[in-house]
């Protein structure tokens, strides 16, 4: 099966000045582009400590010994790979698209942004994996590295469909086993599932680095409907018939309040969160979340 290319050429070109990084230092050992708080032999000096039996003589700072007549060992920050996860909401509401662009749904945009995450991690030598969640349960691709692993993740992404509702805690338990303390999880969702938000709060409280991208349609943002309109909830089938022009002001006020409440709740949990509307550049949320060309997060939204 051919590997799907979910990233448009112009977006792929713009990814060159983006770099994944986590505010939580990893303790994993390996070769990557991130500094770990684990101490050992490396490139960046961290601190001195007293010599202990078993330390390598080459780590001793002999100049300091000449001044102090005591053995001290130079410790450095290890270069260690980041582990990044795409945590993809694939419940039924993610199939929603705009009437003017029906082929570009929330799920399609989320898949493409997950592919961008894999591409960035692959270029940096980082580890990355996929967890997609829908009414059928979880689709999991364990964390790994390299081009072949990226292709496995992309093939799995291509097969994910939007269906059902976010499952209960028992079904989601493997997420805890896969995403470990210090690792990064990029949540791609419409943000409408309370169970999912609770999971994110628990992950963040347990020292996972959680980022959120809330995907919205243009129609949700603008409410451009005319005349009588029937709205159907994709997940529970509930229908609402209303006069669209008369309802517009109230809808925009209530929807805006709900978005602000979610943003405040995630911020209180230490979760960086941005919104993405389907008419915006695909890489816009990644640029807002990650510093460009720096090994840290950008300040502000």
Average pLDDT, the chain: 85
Of 75 and 292, the one with more pLDDT: 75
Confidence of residue 65 (pLDDT cuts 50, 70, 90): confident
pLDDT at 261: 97
Q: Angle at the Cα of 83 (from 292 to 91), degrees rounded to 5? A: 90
Confidence of residue 28 (pLDDT cuts 50, 70, 90): very low
Per residue in 184-242, pLDDT (tens digit) is 999 999 998 999 999 999 999 999 999 999 999 999 999 999 888 777 777 767 778 88
SS3 string of the chain? CCCCCCCCHHHHHHHHHECCCCCCCCCCCCCCCEEEEEEECCCEEEEEEECCCCCCHHHECHHHHHHHCCCEEEEEEEEECCEEEEEEECCHHHHCCECCECCCCHHHHHHHHHHHHHHHHHHHCCEEEEEEEECCEEEEEEEECHHHHHHHHHHHHHHCCCCCCCCCHHHHHHHHHHCCCCCEEEEEECCCCHHHHHHHHHHHHCCCEEEEEEEECHHHHHCCCCCEEEEECCCCCCEEEEEHHHHHHHHHHHHHHHHHHHHHHHHHCCCEEEEEECCCCCCHHHHHHCCECCCCCCCCC
Q: How many CA atoms lie within 13 A of 86 on its CB side?
A: 33
d(CA 268, CA 192): 18
Per residue in 263-276, pLDDT (tens digit) is 999 999 999 999 99
The answer to whether the CB of 106 falls within 8 A of the CB of 91 is no
Q: How many CA atoms lie within 13 A of 260 on its CB side?
A: 6
Confidence of residue 24 (pLDDT cuts 50, 70, 90): low
CATH architecture entry for 9-21+81-289: 3-Layer(aba) Sandwich (3.40)
Of 20 and 46, the one with more pLDDT: 20
Residues 6+ apart with CB under 8 A from 170: none
d(CA 275, CA 157): 22
Of 27 and 252, the one with more pLDDT: 252
pTM of the model: 0.78
Whether the predicted pLDDT of 295 surpasses 80: no
Confidence of residue 97 (pLDDT cuts 50, 70, 90): very high
Per-domain boundaries in the chain: 9-21+81-289, 34-80
């Amino acid at each position: 099966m051919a590997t799907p290319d979910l990233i448009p050429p112009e977006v792929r070109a713009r990814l060159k000045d983006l770099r994944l990084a986590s505010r939580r230092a990893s303790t994993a050992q390996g070769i990557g582009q991130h500094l770990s708080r684990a101490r050992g032999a490396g490139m960046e000096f961290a601190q001195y400590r007293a010599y202990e039996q078993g330390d390598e003589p080459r780590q001793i700072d002999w100049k300091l010994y000449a001044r102090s007549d005591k053995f001290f060992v130079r410790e450095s920050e290890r270069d260690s790979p980041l582990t990044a996860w795409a945590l993809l909401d694939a419940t039924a509401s993610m199939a929603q698209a705009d009437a003017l662009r029906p082929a570009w749904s929330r799920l399609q945009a989320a898949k493409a942004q997950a592919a961008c995450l894999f591409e960035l991690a692959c270029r940096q030598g980082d580890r990355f994996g996929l967890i997609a969640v829908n009414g059928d349960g979880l689709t999991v691709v364990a964390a790994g590295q390299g081009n072949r692993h990226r292709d496995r993740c992309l093939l799995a992404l291509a097969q994910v469909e939007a269906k059902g509702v976010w499952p209960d805690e028992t079904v989601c338990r493997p997420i805890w086993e896969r995403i470990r303390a210090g690792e990064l999880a990029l949540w791609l969702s419409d943000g409408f599932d309370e169970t999912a938000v609770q999971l994110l709060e628990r992950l963040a409280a347990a020292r996972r680095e959680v980022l959120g991208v809330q995907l919205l349609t243009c129609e949700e943002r603008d409410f451009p409907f005319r005349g009588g309109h029937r709205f159907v909830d994709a997940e529970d089938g509930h229908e609402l018939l209303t006069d669209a022009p008369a309802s517009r002001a109230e809808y925009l006020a209530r929807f805006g309040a709900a978005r602000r409440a979610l943003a405040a709740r995630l911020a209180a949990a230490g979760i960086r969160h941005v919104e993405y509307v389907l008419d915006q550049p695909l890489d816009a949320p990644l640029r807002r979340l990650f510093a460009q060309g720096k090994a840290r997060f950008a300040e502000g939204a």
